[in-house]
């Protein structure tokens, strides 16, 4: 062994018997290695230091009825994320710190459901030092002055919803309130999870980032490392197509390279917008496959400009703003309507009136709630109470001071939250979203630049109309919540007045301080069916923004009437009748409206995201020579990208069991600028025992037999 030409061992790690390594298991810039094992029929992933200690071990199986297997993996350019490709098709990103699943990347539109993913690569962009006499003092970060994104950077930041979530339920026993915020792990609707976005950047959408992010910014740690910026994540399958993702998250579309071949290796050279794909072809007559030594060049024309990233930024900003508004509305819906076992703020009033209805005579049982309201109105108007009301006010448990305080505190805090959040957060977020969609609508009017993104102007106008409906509904909710709060306070003041009247001494008359009309309105429309319910139930709004009325009067006639009014006001009779705009029966469900808006925007941006794939220039298949016979090879490959554009070296380690204990290690040099072919520049041969059968290659001028 000492005399043989071998490969030095770097480390020895003791792993379970069923463990396996993938070709990219070793971390590129850290002494770490990822090991996969199968325990109880489920895949597990563990991270090991080369010194032999294990950092973590996690279960990566989803518990599907079919067997799931990790096909390939790669590391993000900053080596903080591990990307796994599964079969059945699934792309998952795991944290290097804990191994936990960070996110799943949706498969590209048009992906063949019967295809299987086979490989994954993550290419980083060469960072060139900016040469400019004027430094970027304002840190625009690639944002053009005058665009919507630059306007958003100047606006006040919206509060982060995850940090300002208040209690969503009723006070607990004895009046103490516990913080029962909704769990952060709540599953979002598909419209938001499938929306194409870049990595989360709330500041670009004028939203306050989370506290941890702000702490990093205060410490100066965000001057980070933007190595992931403009990087390309490529995932290939056995149908000859590849999926591309900008920064590892934003889908650039599906490129069908060759349906008769599968991609075995991808290479991207510095400064080039093209991907070089080495393909494996199947010879149907000889029933074996072969791999061409000449790669197919897939030219992604749009990647040479900043246009795809600008569209991706607009999509990401729209996603953040729409999601921000949806989370607030969802939180308000839980506060008011309740969720699961947690009652909402409207529940105590209905419960209180139901208790009074239970005291009604048996013959009133079918309409107990209505008779209970009539009894309350009689007491309000005449100060004469029926027997059920007298018993209820005099000795009812629901009329205790503690019970009334709990009821008042809960409803008051809920109405204040509805009033403030709709005015200060929902409306501003949707106004910012309107700005973003307006710019996208402007881009749709520039077909000579943005034709490949296929923006639909009519759909964009529909989205803008829906955003305007949300803004109007939010403003309307503010005024209704303010009026409801005033009525509720008057109602509680009246209840305390009646309780004090019952316990007042004979001859002592209390002076009423409540508004009779407001109390009457709350009894009729607030205890059972509050007007606020329409914002969280029923149909979404469609015509909250009225269209200008059709007027057949021309401008000349209007000016003639105006001049006549100025010259002699007494001679002008304005008998114009204006038809009132009735919105009483119009739906106001903001929750459903925002879901419909998110679904429409998500579909629009998903279609536009495929613009880069539409710009792909596919090559003519290079000529290949098929090996005369099948050769069983075990091949491992590594690519070293050169400093010059279009130049790289491919290192192969191949082992042919049928040719004896021999391993070949050919080195192939590629230079697109001088010649389209590959040159075999060196080959070394060593005994197979020295490399533990790690592979061998049989090279011909045009193909590798497998």
Check residue 643 and give its pLDDT: 62
| Farthest CA pair distance, the chain | 119
Question: Residue 126 above 50 pLDDT?
Answer: yes
* pLDDT at residue number 288: 60
Residue closest to 610 by CA, chosen among 261, 296, 134, 196: 196
pLDDT at site 702:
38
Q: Give the model's pLDDT for residue 398.
A: 67
CA-wise closest residue to 73 among 115, 31, 43: 43
pLDDT at residue 285, rounded to an integer: 55
pLDDT at 273: 82
> Hey, CA dihedral for 91, 183, 606, 444, is it positive or negative?
negative
Residue 169: predicted pLDDT: 43
What does the pLDDT read at residue 435?
96
Asked whether the bond before 334 is cis by omega within 30 degrees of 0, the reply is: no
pLDDT at 165: 52
Tokens in use for 541?
A: 């709004």
Delimiting residues of CATH 2.40.10.480 domain(s) in the chain: 1-105
CATH number at 1-105: 2.40.10.480
Considering only residues 660 and 701, tell me which one the structure prediction assigns the higher pLDDT: 660
Please give the pLDDT value at position 427. 95
Q: DSSP string covering 35-73, please?
A: EEEEETTEEEEEEEETTS-EEEEEE-----SS--EEEEE
Range of lowest pLDDT (35-39, 120-124, 441-445): 35-39
Which of residues 13 and 574 earns the better pLDDT score?
13
Q: Considering the chain, what is the average pLDDT of its residues?
A: 79
> Minimum mean pLDDT among 33-47, 150-164, 652-666: which range?
652-666
Of residues 143 and 177, which shows the higher confidence score? 143
Q: Is the pLDDT of residue 5 over 70?
A: no
Among 258-267, 398-407, 529-538, 627-636, top mean pLDDT goes to 529-538
Using pLDDT thresholds of 50, 70 and 90, give the confidence band for residue 634: low
Give me the phi and psi of 678, to 5 degrees please: -100, 140
Q: Provide CB contacts within 8 A for 198, sequence distance 6+.
A: 246, 247, 249, 250, 312, 313, 315, 316
Give 174's pLDDT tier (boundaries 50, 70, 90). very low
The whole-angstrom separation of Cα 137 and Cα 157 is 21
Per-residue model confidence (pLDDT) at position 679: 46
pLDDT at 138: 59
pLDDT confidence tier of residue 354, bands split at 50, 70 and 90: confident
pLDDT score of 132: 61
What is the pLDDT, as a whole number, of residue 397?
66
Mean pLDDT lowest for which of 8-17, 327-336, 398-407, 465-474?
A: 8-17
Average pLDDT of 175-183?
Answer: 43
Quick one: CA dihedral 317, 319, 320, 325, positive or negative?
A: positive
Q: Is the pLDDT of residue 403 over 60?
A: yes
Evaluate if residue 300 carries a pLDDT over 50: yes
Rounded-to-integer distance, Cα 59 and Cα 76, Å: 21
Q: Which whole number is the average pLDDT over 665-681?
A: 58
Residue with more model confidence, 636 or 204? 204
Residue 235 in contact with residue 253, Cβ under 8 Å?
no
Q: Which of 260-274, 313-327, 340-354, 597-611 has the lowest mean pLDDT?
A: 260-274
Share of the chain above pLDDT 70, in %: 73
Task: Look at residue 627 and tell me whether its pLDDT is greater than 80.
Answer: no
Tens digits of residue pLDDT in 514-532 = 888 999 999 998 888 889 9
pLDDT at position 105? 92
What pLDDT shows up at residue 228?
85
8 or 253, which is more confident? 253
What is the share, in percent, of the chain residues with pLDDT greater than 90?
35
- Weakest mean pLDDT among 390-394, 405-409, 655-659: 655-659
Backbone phi and psi for residue 11, each to the nearest 5 degrees, phi listed first: -165, 160
Question: Per-residue pLDDT tens for 543-573?
Answer: 766 555 556 667 888 888 888 888 877 766 6
Task: Say what the pLDDT of residue 117 is.
Answer: 92
**When comparing pLDDT for 285 and 661, which is higher?**
661
Reported as a single tens digit per residue, the pLDDT across 181-238 is: 444 446 889 999 999 999 988 888 899 887 655 554 544 444 445 788 889 999 999 8
Q: Which residue has the higher pLDDT, 33 or 389?
A: 33
Cα–Cα nearest to 535, from 324, 335, 351: 335
Which DSSP string do the residues of 361-404 spell out, in sequence order? Answer: -GGGGGGHHHHHHHHHHHHHHHS---HHHHHHHHH-GGGSHHHH
Helix-then-strand count for the chain, H and E:
16, 23
- DSSP letters, 258-311, are -TTEEEEEEE--TT--EEEEEEEEEETTTTEEEEESSPEEEEEGGGGSSHHHHH
pLDDT at res. 249 = 93
Position 671 confidence tier, pLDDT thresholds 50, 70, 90? low
The pLDDT of residue 560 is 84
pLDDT, position 92: 93
* Stretch 561-590: mean pLDDT: 70
pLDDT of residue 699: 36
Lowest-pLDDT choice from 73-87, 302-316, 541-555: 541-555
Region 487-507 average pLDDT: 82
Note the pLDDT tens digit of each residue in 330-349: 999 999 998 877 888 988 88
């Amino acid at each position: 062994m000492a005399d043989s030409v071998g490969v030095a061992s770097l480390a020895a790690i003791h792993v379970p018997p069923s463990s396996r390594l993938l070709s990219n298991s070793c971390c590129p810039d850290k002494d770490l290695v990822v090991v996969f094992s199968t325990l109880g029929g489920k895949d597990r992933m563990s991270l090991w230091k080369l010194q032999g200690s294990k950092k973590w071990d996690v279960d990566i199986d989803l518990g599907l009825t079919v067997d799931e297997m990790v096909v390939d993996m790669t590391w993000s350019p900053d080596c903080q994320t591990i990307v796994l490709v599964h079969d059945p098709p699934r792309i998952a990103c795991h944290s290097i710190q804990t191994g936990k699943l960070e996110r799943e990347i949706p498969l590209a539109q048009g992906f063949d459901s019967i295809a299987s993913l086979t490989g994954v690569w993550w290419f980083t962009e060469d960072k060139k030092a900016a040469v400019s006499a004027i430094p970027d003092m304002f840190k625009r970060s690639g944002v053009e002055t005058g665009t919507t994104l630059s306007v958003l950077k100047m606006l006040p930041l919206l509060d982060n919803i995850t940090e300002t979530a208040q209690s969503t339920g009723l006070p607990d026993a004895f009046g103490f309130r516990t913080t029962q915020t909704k769990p952060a792990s709540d599953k979002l609707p598909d419209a938001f999870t499938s929306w194409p976005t870049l990595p989360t950047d709330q500041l670009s959408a004028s939203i306050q980032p989370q506290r941890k992010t702000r702490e990093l910014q205060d410490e100066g740690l965000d001057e980070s490392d933007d190595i992931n910026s403009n990087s390309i994540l490529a995932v290939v399958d056995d149908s000859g197509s590849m999926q591309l993702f900008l920064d590892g998250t934003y889908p650039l579309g599906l490129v069908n390279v060759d349906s008769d071949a599968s991609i075995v290796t991808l290479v991207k050279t510095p400064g080039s917008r093209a991907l070089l794909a080495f393909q494996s072809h199947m010879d149907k007559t000889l029933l074996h496959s072969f791999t061409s030594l000449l790669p197919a060049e897939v030219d992604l024309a749009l990647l040479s400009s900043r246009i795809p990233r600008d569209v991706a930024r607009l999509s990401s900003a729209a996603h953040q703003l729409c999601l921000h508004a949806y989370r607030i509305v969802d939180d308000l819906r839980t506060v008011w309507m309740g969720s699961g076992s947690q009652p909402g703020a409207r529940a105590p009033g209905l419960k209180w009136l139901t208790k009074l209805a239970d005291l009604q005579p048996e013959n009133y049982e079918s309409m107990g709630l209505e008779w209970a309201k009539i009894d309350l109105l009689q007491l309000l108007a005449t100060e004469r109470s029926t027997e059920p009301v007298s018993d209820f006010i005099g000795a009812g448990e629901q009329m205790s001071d503690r019970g009334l305080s709990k009821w008042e505190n809960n409803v008051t805090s809920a109405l204040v939250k509805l009033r403030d959040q709709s005015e200060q957060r929902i409306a501003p977020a949707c106004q910012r979203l309107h700005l973003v969609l307006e710019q996208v609508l402007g881009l749709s009017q520039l077909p000579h630049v943005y034709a490949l993104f296929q923006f639909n102007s009519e759909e964009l106008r529909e989205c803008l109309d829906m955003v305007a409906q949300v803004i109007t509904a939010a403003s309307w909710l503010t005024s209704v919540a303010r009026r409801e709060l005033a009525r509720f306070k008057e109602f509680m003041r009246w209840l305390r007045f009646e309780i004090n009247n019952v316990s007042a001494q004979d001859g002592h008359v209390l002076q009423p301080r409540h508004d009779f009309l407001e109390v009457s309105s709350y009894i009729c429309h607030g205890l059972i069916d509050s007007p606020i319910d329409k914002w969280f139930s029923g149909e979404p709004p469609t015509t909250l923004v009225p269209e200008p009325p059709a007027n057949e009067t021309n401008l000349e006639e209007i000016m003639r009437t105006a001049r006549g009014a100025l010259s002699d006001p007494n001679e002008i009779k304005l008998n114009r009748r204006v038809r009132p705009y009735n919105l009483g029966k119009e739906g106001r469900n903001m929750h459903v409206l925002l879901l419909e808006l998110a679904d429409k925007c998500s579909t629009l941006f998903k279609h536009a995201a495929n613009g880069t794939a539409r710009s792909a220039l596919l090559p003519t298949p290079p000529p290949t020579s098929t090996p005369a016979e099948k050769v069983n090879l075990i091949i491992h490959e590594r690519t070293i990208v050169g400093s010059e554009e279009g130049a790289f070296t491919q290192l192969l380690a191949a082992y042919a069991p049928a040719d004896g204990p021999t391993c070949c290690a050919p080195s192939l040099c590629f230079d697109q600028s001088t010649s389209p072919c590959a040159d075999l520049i060196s080959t070394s041969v060593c005994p197979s025992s020295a490399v533990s059968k790690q592979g061998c290659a049989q090279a011909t001028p045009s193909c590798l037999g497998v």
